[in-house]
Structure 1
Amino acid sequence: MTNAPDINIQEILQNPAVQEATNNINKGMIARTNYDPPKCSVFSNKYTYLKPDHSCRFSIDREAEKQLPNIIKNPLQIITGIESPEKDFKTEYEKKRRIGIVFSGGPAPGGHNVIAGIYDAAKQANSETKVYGFLLGPDGIIENEIIELTGNLVNKYRNTGGFSMIKTGRTKIDTSEKMNLSRETCKALGLDALVVIGGDDSNTNAAFLAQEMYDDGVQVIGVPKTIDGDIQVKDDEGRVLCAMSFGFHTAARAFANAVSNLCTDSSSDVKYWHICKVMGRVASHLALEVALQTHANITLIGEDLADYVDEKRIEKAKNDNTVDYTAYGITLRHLSRVICDCIVRRAAAGKNYGVAVIPEGVLEFINEIQLFIIKLNTIIAEYNTTHDKTFHMEFPKLTDKLEYLRKLAQRSREDRSFTIWNTRDDDLFNDIPDFFQKGLLMERDSHGNFPFSQVETEKVIMEMVKDYLAFLREKGEYKIGIKRTYYNKTLQKAELDPDFFGPVLFKNYTQGDILLVKPSIISLKTLNQTLIKEGALKEGEPIPPAIEKIYKKSVPDFKTQTHFYGYDGRGSDPTKFDCIYTYNLGLTVFSLIANGATGQMAAVRNLEQDFLQWEPAGIPIAPLMHLEERKGKLSLVLEKSIVNTNSISFQIVKALREKWLAANPGEDNYRKPGPIIFSRENEESRPITLTLNALADKF
């Protein structure tokens, strides 16, 4: 063994080529940070003013009117350009300001560009304006933790993902103590305006902050941020004011690229079903967009499952002259059967592989699960109030809890007035995997609520799918189709007559290019028996190796790989769409501030149209808020937007489900969205769901 020459690592590290190769900043990132997003046409003017649009009407909640009196009558404000305003207007517009910005909630691609837009517009109006960033989210406001944002710092993060510039946090300013501390911070800093960049809860916070600091003269502006896409605003006439929160397009594209790669892997290795859970705890917008981007074989949309109606149960109830309310909403059992049917049909076509997309919150749309939670909450609470010991102390083991529920079901048979837990409940509950039963029976939080976030959605569903597939395999209904050409070649090579053995082995030998082994043949033993019965084999003779090979090829081995897409997508560098959208949101924010607005949410209308038609606006937050149960009590909140199953985008996905399932011998219909390539000229310009839904007026 020869001695290696001495290496001067310090000299190597000083080499320009080495430094370039190992630098944190690469050429792609330089191109990103140097990119100058185009501005909406209105911002080509030196000044902007607000034009109220009183034609937009909202159904006002009485409680919102009571709690937010100073901002409840805010109108929709359209940003309008002006070159030569009056002197007083110019003086107010260009005055020196102090603006605070906070990120609230999980990151979403494009947040840095909101800051860049605010910073650029503020400095252009008055170079002495100070812009501050509150550190680590709302805690930064409460604890007065800030940094002053400089041009160098802002430039470093332009067009990049994450909220790394000032970080984020999930604290809510939802108590009088937190509100008072926030007011003190804003007063101490002499803030003219506070910008809250966040989701529905954060914009709800923004409305209350605007109300609380109204008399202090501190303007509060919200910005719609959430990769879930569940901030969508329409007026009472159905006019779209905010079509999509920022970050959605990037996250969907990031997820779609990863799912598309799995489609490629699945159809290459042909042995796995990839089960892909994507973020979206309340709404299935991301799953819908990923379906359109990738054409995955199966995509569940929670809102669609909620609309399911069991016609057989309705008919039975009708014949019995009763009403079966359990016929409305899909059950876990039926959902597992639907998925199994898709898997079995693809296997029969010779495709024992595929890709399924499941939204994170799909279980929340299953009526049965919601009923279980309500009933179990009631059972547990009632037990705790009538016994000295708590339910979980009295029944520490799952088997103990199940036995107690079984006795309640028995009681329902003996006492018709007892309906809280009946035999159907007990049967359905026992269909659920043990770990999920345990989860549903876990201790509630301090408010008595079920901790849904701790449920492994995909595991719950796939455990039931695997169990039923095993049952179908035993019945001989789950088999892999064999190509006729492969069968003929295999038998001819073994000098056996395909036409002699074909009718013995296959139920469809006289038709089709894909052959299915008879349902009665479910093991080597039953294969042997069938061959003997049909005269193709004598007692004691071994099964011909070629026949055994064909049989084994038909036996499915259901293998899955599970994946969760969430944090990777929300941390992705933004698409060009999100870069442009968020930068213009930032410009919109300053326009609202410069014109004295408060309690408004920055928005850009017409996102589904060509960029030249984009229209910046300020949406009043207070009129959007309604009472909703949160943590066991009614609270004013901004309502989340779920997938509209009547929308064109969903109806198209529904119409193409069979095609994308591709349960036939032909090619799969996978679509390759490709990675997010910032510099590519033909980069997708907006979410497909927006493009499709924009066609609504044409049909």
Structure 2
Amino acid sequence: MSALEAERRHYRPCVPAVLRVRVRAEPAQERTTCVSHEDLIASAFPTLYGSPVVSLVPAETDTSVAPRPLRVGCVLSGGTPAAGGHNCICGLFDHLEAFHPGSTLLGFRGGLRGVLRNSFTKLEAATVERHRNSGGFFMIGSGGDLIETEEELALAHYELAEATCRRCGLSGLVLVGGPVSNSDTALLAEHFKQRGVPTRVIGVPATIDGDLYCNSIEASIGFDTATRVYASLVGNLATDAASARKHWYFIRMMGRTPSHLTLGCANLTQPNIALVGEELEARRMTLCDIVGELADAVEARASEGKHFGVVLIPEGLIEYVPQVNALLSEISAALKYRQRMGDTSTDRYKVYTAILPLLTPPSAALLASLPPYIRRQLMLERQASDDKAQLSQIETERLLAELVRVELRKRRAAATATAEWAAPDARFAPVCFYLGYQARSSMPSTFDANLGYALGHAAGALVGAGATAYMASAHCLTSPPSEWRLCGVPLFSLMSADRRAGVAVAVIRPAQVSLASPTFRRWSAVRERLVMADLYCNPGPMQLSGPLAAGPSPGRVQAEHAERGRDVAEAQAICREVSAACWPGCSGDVLRTALASLRALREHLDVLEERDQAAMTNPVGSSHRRITQVTHEQMLRRDN
């Protein structure tokens, strides 16, 4: 153990004031609905749909009566560690120790697989203490196992999980993970509710991708740390580029399909170019368009003697390019067709020659035109979690760098042939990087250490209050941690429909970057200037103490939620004042004025809610995908 690890173990996260006393779950009065596709979601959650949001508030019970001990299981779900996950378990352990003495905490090994196989370890105080404020998920391990979408297999998984929880006598089961893992958490909770299983199921948001995000979930564990670590690496590379002045750095950022990490790092480091997939889709940009704009930037900087630059590329960029997106869909359909036909060959060239005739002519031409290494990567086996291509294995940065090089050569050759204009000597020397695994298991930032610990406490409180099918959530995160507010958000309220293996299922879709958000507007306001100017910012190593360690990184949470806590408190105070003024003995004028104003307010709120629902409603399928996946048989009918 390093000196820093030993020192960091002694850090005690700040606990929100509400969690320092015994709490209860106070339900809101409003019925909760889902994001979209209400009929499908309501049918998937017949016993849970409509459950209200619950707030954790101080309990008004007789403290002389000791609460009964609990037996709680915890799971670090999903295949990607998120810094702060260990602190979530620590917070859960400390909550049980403080408010449910004599409780037992079981850690299921290897993610959901541990629940299905009844593989667990009892977490003792010494084990928990060794992992405080540490990175990774190595306390109990994690895994990418999921509940199958096929009905018979899903039922088998549910029954295995039910058997484990009954055998262990679990009062609660807490699953820590991202959108896919928490989708399984919701479905498992519904199964338990229908079967009368006494185990309460609670989810905790944890993903470095930042795609478990909405008004109900201000931040997920791990995103702040990942943004800080990646920004530090990008800042170093930008400083190096400005020093050597001879390389273009093409940096692909982890983050799956959404571009949250890329956008967050762009705002912290100010590279010359940062591609945001959601914007490219909105502009309907093709691969040629993207390459053309990159080549324009290289030539423009070369004209001023700047033969260097920094380009940030989101991991999921390739899915936002229309013709590549269509190609990926057709490859998926072709691979499934081969499986149905019993073709199990793994030889890369045989796979390529087998699926090429199954593609439409435009997609076949595009696949044939790509470099061999990209072809191989596009044809890799699809991810079990969302049936998509393995984005982390597709070297988009290398592809773009090579295409820009080819484009620059074409332009120079054309200029030489026509002699109508002089193309600048770009001297293009790209160097490619993939920032992926460097930040997943980093020591958590102070913000993530506090957030993970608070959400672990909140998950324990929800189990103790008898709540099930909720996600622990913290609000007012730009305030000091002692002022954070904790609540439980119904898991189904985060869900909509998506297509898995050709079947519409209820899932929590990964949140996309909003082009109307303050975070994106901040970047778009400066990016044109950054193409030519060298205004790189190097945030330096992540700080764990001192003034620079406090609070979230100066990114999404601060930009989009800075005033939220204050505004919520003011709105609640005004409501209390109106309620006090409208007592039975108040004057008629006061009552009529209040009613007229409140009725108008209610109408305005209804309009806003309908607008938000319409904005979030997408066709069943990928949240950004406009290309419908087709089977091989459908392709043949269409082509003929």
What TM-score do you get using the length of structure 2 for normalisation? 0.79
Q: Which runs of 5+ in 1 are unaligned?
A: 1-23, 234-239, 309-328, 409-419, 478-517, 523-553
What is the 5 A alignment of 1:293-312? Answer: 293-308=268-283
Aligned in 2, Cα 1:381/1:475: closer, same or farther, shift over 3 Å?
same
Q: Which runs of 5+ in 2 are unaligned?
A: 149-153, 567-640
Structure 1 residue 582 corresponds to structure 2 residue 537: no
Given the alignment, which residue of 99, 103, 106 partners 1:129? Answer: 103
1:451 is matched with 389
1:194 is matched with 173
What amino acid does structure 1 have at the position aligned with 2:295?
C
Aligned in 2, Cα 1:392/1:566: closer, same or farther, shift over 3 Å?
closer
Given the alignment, which residue of 56, 71, 75 partners 1:98? Answer: 71
Given the alignment, which residue of 136, 145, 156 partners 1:162? Answer: 136
2:91 is matched with 117
Q: CA deviation at 1:452?
A: 4.2
What is the 5 A alignment of 1:493-512? Answer: none
* Distance (whole Å) between structure 2 residues aligned to residue 586 and residue 381 of structure 1: 41
> Is the 2:180–2:385 Cα contact (8 Å) retained in structure 1?
no
Q: CA deviation at 1:152?
A: 1.3
* Distance (whole Å) between structure 2 residues aligned to residue 448 and residue 179 of structure 1: 19
1:675 is matched with 541
What is the 5 A alignment of 1:340-489? Answer: 340-374=295-329, 396=350, 421=361, 432-437=370-375, 451-453=389-391, 454-475=393-414
Q: SS at 1:101's partner residue? A: strand
Residue by residue, what CA displacement relative to the aligned partner does 1:57-90 show, whole Å, maximum 9, x if unpaired?
A: 42472222223222222211111123x5146xx7
When the two structures are aligned, how many residues end up with a matched partner?
552
> Is the 1:588–1:616 Cα contact (8 Å) retained in structure 2?
yes
What amino acid does structure 1 have at the position aligned with 2:61?
P
2:56 is matched with 79
Instruction: Give the aligned CA root-mean-square deviation in angstroms.
Output: 3.3
* Distance (whole Å) between structure 2 residues aligned to residue 213 and residue 202 of structure 1: 17
Aligned in 2, Cα 1:112/1:443: closer, same or farther, shift over 3 Å?
closer
Aligned in 2, Cα 1:429/1:291: closer, same or farther, shift over 3 Å?
same
Residue by residue, what CA displacement relative to the aligned partner does 1:576-631 show, whole Å, maximum 9, x if unpaired?
A: 11011111101111111111101000000122445454210100002322221122
> Is the 1:139–1:169 Cα contact (8 Å) retained in structure 2?
yes
Q: SS at 2:522's partner residue? A: helix
Residue by residue, what CA displacement relative to the aligned partner does 1:374-400 show, whole Å, maximum 9, x if unpaired?
A: 456678889999x9999999x959689
What amino acid does structure 2 have at the position aligned with 1:228?
D
* Distance (whole Å) between structure 1 residues aligned to residue 368 and residue 427 of structure 2: 25
Aligned in 2, Cα 1:446/1:58: closer, same or farther, shift over 3 Å?
closer
2:551 is matched with 685
Residue by residue, what CA displacement relative to the aligned partner does 1:478-535 show, whole Å, maximum 9, x if unpaired?
A: xxxxxxxxxxxxxxxxxxxxxxxxxxxxxxxxxxxxxxxx98668xxxxxxxxxxxxx
What is the 5 A alignment of 1:630-641? Answer: 630-641=500-511
What amino acid does structure 2 have at the position aligned with 1:295?
Q
* Distance (whole Å) between structure 2 residues aligned to residue 450 and residue 31 of structure 1: 42
What amino acid does structure 1 have at the position aligned with 2:557?
L
Q: CA deviation at 1:437?
A: 4.7
Aligned in 2, Cα 1:143/1:343: closer, same or farther, shift over 3 Å?
same
Q: SS at 2:175's partner residue? A: strand
Given the alignment, which residue of 6, 16, 27 partners 1:40? Answer: 16
> Is the 2:70–2:170 Cα contact (8 Å) retained in structure 1?
yes
Larger Rg: 1
Q: CA deviation at 1:306?
A: 0.5
Q: SS at 2:438's partner residue? A: helix
Q: SS at 1:603's partner residue? A: strand
2:428 is matched with 558
2:119 is matched with 145
Aligned in 2, Cα 1:199/1:390: closer, same or farther, shift over 3 Å?
closer
Q: SS at 2:547's partner residue? A: coil
Aligned in 2, Cα 1:203/1:268: closer, same or farther, shift over 3 Å?
same
Instruction: Out of 343-352 and 622-631, give the one that drifted further.
Output: 622-631
> Is the 1:283–1:643 Cα contact (8 Å) retained in structure 2?
yes
Q: CA deviation at 1:679?
A: 1.6
Structure 1 residue 284 corresponds to structure 2 residue 236: no
What amino acid does structure 1 have at the position aligned with 2:53?
L
Given the alignment, which residue of 149, 168, 173 partners 2:147? Answer: 173
Structure 1 residue 54 corresponds to structure 2 residue 35: no
Aligned in 2, Cα 1:197/1:390: closer, same or farther, shift over 3 Å?
closer
* Distance (whole Å) between structure 1 residues aligned to residue 295 and residue 221 of structure 2: 36
2:492 is matched with 622
Q: SS at 1:601's partner residue? A: strand
* Distance (whole Å) between structure 2 residues aligned to residue 137 and residue 383 of structure 1: 31
Aligned in 2, Cα 1:120/1:560: closer, same or farther, shift over 3 Å?
same
* Distance (whole Å) between structure 1 residues aligned to residue 183 and residue 365 of structure 2: 42
Residue by residue, what CA displacement relative to the aligned partner does 1:235-268 show, whole Å, maximum 9, x if unpaired?
A: xxxxx11112110000111111011000111111
Aligned in 2, Cα 1:437/1:115: closer, same or farther, shift over 3 Å?
closer
1:486 is matched with none
* Distance (whole Å) between structure 1 residues aligned to residue 353 and residue 97 of structure 2: 66
Q: SS at 1:571's partner residue? A: coil
Aligned in 2, Cα 1:275/1:39: closer, same or farther, shift over 3 Å?
same
* Distance (whole Å) between structure 2 residues aligned to residue 153 and residue 392 of structure 1: 43
What amino acid does structure 1 have at the position aligned with 2:208?
I
2:204 is matched with 223
> Is the 1:375–1:421 Cα contact (8 Å) retained in structure 2?
no
Q: CA deviation at 1:438?
A: 5.7
Aligned in 2, Cα 1:136/1:397: closer, same or farther, shift over 3 Å?
closer
Instruction: Determine what percentage of the aligned residue pairs are the same residue.
Output: 29
> Is the 1:648–1:695 Cα contact (8 Å) retained in structure 2?
no
* Distance (whole Å) between structure 2 residues aligned to residue 209 and residue 289 of structure 1: 33
Aligned in 2, Cα 1:450/1:421: closer, same or farther, shift over 3 Å?
farther
Structure 1 residue 63 corresponds to structure 2 residue 7: no
Structure 1 residue 259 corresponds to structure 2 residue 129: no
What TM-score do you get using the length of structure 1 for normalisation? 0.73
Q: CA deviation at 1:219?
A: 0.5
* Distance (whole Å) between structure 1 residues aligned to residue 201 and residue 218 of structure 2: 22
1:506 is matched with none
Q: CA deviation at 1:367?
A: 1.2
Instruction: Out of 138-147 and 174-183, give the one that drifted further.
Output: 174-183
* Distance (whole Å) between structure 2 residues aligned to residue 68 and residue 400 of structure 1: 42
* Distance (whole Å) between structure 1 residues aligned to residue 9 and residue 390 of structure 2: 39
Q: SS at 1:275's partner residue? A: strand
